[in-house]
Amino acid sequence: MQIPFAILIALLALTPALIIANNTLLQQVAAVIALLALAIATAATRGFEIRQLIKIVRPVAVLLALPAIWMIVQATPIPVGRLTQPIWASSASYLQAHAFGYISLDQGKTLGCLLIYGFGVAIIILTILLARDRKRAEQILLTSSGVTVLTVLLLLVIESGHFDILKGAESDPKGLLPAISSLGMIFCLASAARVAERRASSFGDNAFWKRVPSLIVCAIGFLICFLALVAFGNVNLGIVATCAIVTFASVQIFRRFDVAQWSIDLFLLLIGAAAVAAIWHHAGTPSVPFIIQFADMPSSDAAATAARIYADTGPLGNGAGTYAALFPMYRIAGQPIQGAPTIVTALAIEWGLPALLVLLVAVLWLVSRLVHGALSRGRDSFYPAAAAACTVILLGQALCSTTISQWSVMLIGEVMIGLGLAQSIKRTG
């Protein structure tokens, strides 16, 4: 497992460099390397570890499979009819022949999204395989924490504009900073929890001073990420980060007081409902659909264009990855080409509202699963608790922006989810 582990650590360590390069080819090469690492790790996995992997993945297998299945359905040729896009019926009429069509407007784009999704699943499974070992799990957590804080610092330097060498870097550091800094705060909290748990078990509860240096480092990292979020985030993203921190802290508190698991589910549900209500109250705009209400700028031209596209979207969607093809047909004269205002908006247009609702329920179930995993663990509970908090951040960011579609944010989030799933059950369980 040494080679796959080294590859995963290298991918995490190269995240800041990939942001600077902002090169699609490099990201594709990194994806191929990650798939190679997964193949090596799978080949080196023993029977016991395979059974452990199946035990971990089985409860979330449907969640992982649903998006892939739906994208395959959208890109599968079917007889032209009510399920296919009107463009395929027009083509069949023009050719005066019976033809096949697709739910997707562009099956090539949809299959491309399927490959990107497959890379994300591969990263999660690779992390699960590697993070079953406690020492490797700790190294992955510490590397992720350091890389996340370093990435925040790098984005701050890019935003300052004082270094010519960074002028070709990521075009929108302001957009990336809130997401990565929010994840960084959770990583730093998890690292601090690790220090507290490990030091207490190794040196006794009175060995406070032996923990201080490590805790100070975690506090500095948390402060850097917090200040970046305050400087470049907004109220909506601040509410999302607060919900994530509350999720992490409540799991730790409830575990120590041995509170019933259903009560924390109810507590987190109430927190989530309050957060949605607060964001909607703050940013609600009656003139746009509900799914766009949570965008950073719900009344912008991009949001108005997205609302027009959404109004013409059927329940089966237009096909994953097709938003960019639809935008020019709906934009007003002189409006520049822009992406969807939020990930959720793009998914509602590309996948259809029913598929989006199923996905949202599945993600909430994943949070619940990770929380229950944390409550069932002892001193390693901070791994699934942090993964649950990061999932809350990713969900909130999807509601409010498009930053989680960035390669760096996806990689960091997927590694943390895999880490949390890997440590959600005991190794001998």
pLDDT of residue 361: 86
- Asked if 342 contacts 378 with a C-beta cutoff of 8 angstroms, the reply is no
In 3-state terms, what secondary structure has residue 422?
helix
Q: Where are the domains of the chain?
A: 2-75+112-422
Tokens matching residue 304: 């108005």
Based on the number of CB atoms within 10 Å of its own CB, is 257 exposed (0-12), middle (13-18) or buried (19 or more)?
Answer: exposed
Which residues are CB-contacts of 203 (< 8 A; sequence separation ≥ 6)?
Answer: 210
Q: What is the pLDDT of residue 181?
A: 94
pTM: 0.88
User: Which runs of consecutive H residues, i.e. helices, occur in 351-406?
Assistant: 353-376, 382-400
Backbone angles phi, psi at 78, to 5 degrees: -135, 160
| pLDDT higher than threshold 50 for residue 16 | yes
Distance CA 370, CA 265 (A): 11
The pLDDT of residue 285 is 57
Q: Record the tokens describing residue 26, joined without a space.
A: 């490099």
In this predicted structure, what is the pLDDT of residue 152? 92
Q: Per residue in 62-78, pLDDT tens?
A: 888 889 999 999 888 87
Q: How far is CA 87 from the centre of its chain?
A: 33
Q: pLDDT of 252-311, one tens digit each?
A: 888 877 776 677 777 777 877 777 776 666 555 556 677 787 777 655 778 888 888 888
Look at residue 82 and tell me whether its pLDDT is greater than 70.
no
The per-residue pLDDT for 429 is: 45
Query: Distance of CA 261 to CAs 55, 191, 257, 342, 370, Å?
Result: 21, 24, 11, 33, 12
Q: Which comes out higher in pLDDT, residue 255 or 163?
A: 255
pLDDT reported for residue 147: 92
Six token digits for residue 372: 């229950």
CB atoms within 10 A of CB 250: 19
| pLDDT above 90: percentage of residues in the chain | 21
Helices 261-283 and 382-400, packing angle to 10 deg: 20
Give the C-alpha separation, 25 to 357, whole Å: 33
pLDDT single digits (tens) 203-213:
555 556 677 88
- Average pLDDT along the chain: 81
Residue scoring higher pLDDT (152 or 302): 152
427 three-class SS: coil
